[in-house]
Chains A and B, each alone.
Chain A
Amino acid sequence: METMNAEIFTLTYGSMVRQLLVDTEDVEEVNKQLDKMGYNIGVRLIDEFLAKSKINKCVDFRDSAEKLAKVGFKMFLNTTASVTSWNAEGTECSLILEDNPMTDFVELPEGCSRKLRYCNLLCGVIRGALRMVNLNVSCNFVQDVLWDDPVSELRLKLISTGAENYPFKDDD
């Protein structure tokens, strides 16, 4: 697989977030925009992921989360995440990122801690990519090293799984 310089990526992403902060002047809006961008990336990224990983079926959400953490993060961010803190029903879990290349060299501006979800793009990507395989999830940062937490933690919650429905009505 093609590789690129991680620092260029990190710095590009950083300047994009900075520009968004300047343009919108609203931290919540930046979070929203990042999530939206990520979603649009994820919708496409899933095909590349499927094509390159040759993964065909995931038996359940647990399996999907493992593949996402071990194969997905490895492929696109060259890092892995561990999947922990499952709830009893197996619909919620946490992805712990020990090493997140996107946060290298980053310092949040003052007053943004606990507000700016710097890597919110990731949440969008995960949401978009899983949406394409009919898993509706919500994804949020609950801990972030940039907020002086020990690790970055993404909380992943399965809302529903869609079925393959016939898209046309009988009479049209």
Chain B
Amino acid sequence: MGVFTIYFFDREGTCLFYHEWSRPKPVKLGAGTPGDDQKMLFGLFFQLKVFAAAMDPKGKPNAQLGAPTRIGESCSFHSFTTDLYKLHFAESPSGLKIVLTTDPTVGDMRESMAYIYSYIYVECVVKNPMYSPGQPFRFETFTTQLNDFIQSLGLLQ
């Protein structure tokens, strides 16, 4: 099994969508509740981005640790790997954040995540009249297309 979970967050930290293909260790034994799980994950990548920007040896000299960054400013990370899983992160300038957790052996997913954003999220969610911005969504076409896409990458068995 190559892929574990996917999360979509908006800028306000709302988890818009969550799906798990495989999660051998249940949330109950990790963060506790799904709500806490999502919030902790948001905190993790948010702070990681802040640290990554603060450690940047090349960027603007005035970017201090912890200082809020503007969109388009500073850098971001794309993924991190632990010995048990890999977390992929993508963010659009409009504030949508996609987090995908996979097996550590999975390669670069940046293009795939851009595809998920451009062709699956935009087409099935943003253009869906039932979607109200800022609210969690669950649409069958979206889930199906996401599943098919992940399957086509050969990440599902």
Q: Hey, which chain A residues are within 8 Å of B126, CB to CB?
A: 44, 47-48
Residue in chain A with minimal CB distance to B92: A50
Check if A168 sits within 8 Å of B13, measured CB to CB.
yes
Least distance between B41 CB and chain A CB atoms (Å): 12
Q: Assess whether A43 is in contact with B133, with CB atoms less than 8 Å apart.
A: yes
Tell me the interface secondary structure of chain B in the complex: loop
Nearest chain B CB to A134 CB, angstrom units = 5
Residue of A55, A58, A163 with most chain B CB atoms under a 10 A cut-off: A163
Q: A44-B126, A51-B118, A58-B72 are in contact. Are A166 and B46 (CB under 8 A)?
A: yes
Complexed CA–CA distance, A48 and B68 (Å): 27
Q: Could you tell me how many residues of chain A have their Cβ less than 8 Å away from some Cβ of chain B?
A: 24
Q: Does B95 contact A (CB under 8 A)?
A: yes
Which one of A47, A132, A163 lies within 8 Å of B68 (CB-CB)? A163
A51 B127 Cβ-Cβ under 8 A:
no
Residue among B72, B119, B127 with most chain A CB within 10 A: B72
> Are B70 and A161 interface neighbours, CB within 8 A?
yes
Contact B68 A165 (CB under 8 A): yes
Check if A167 sits within 8 Å of B93, measured CB to CB.
no
Given A57-B93, A164-B11, A166-B46, the answer on whether A48 and B122 have CB atoms closer than 8 Å is: yes
Can you list 5 residue pairs at the A/B interface with Cβ under 8 Å? A44-B133, A47-B94, A47-B117, A57-B93, A166-B13
5 closest residue pairs by CB, A with B: A163-B68, A51-B118, A167-B13, A57-B72, A132-B94
Q: B residues engaging A (CB < 8 A)?
A: 11-13, 39, 42-43, 46, 68-72, 92-96, 117-119, 121-122, 126-127, 133
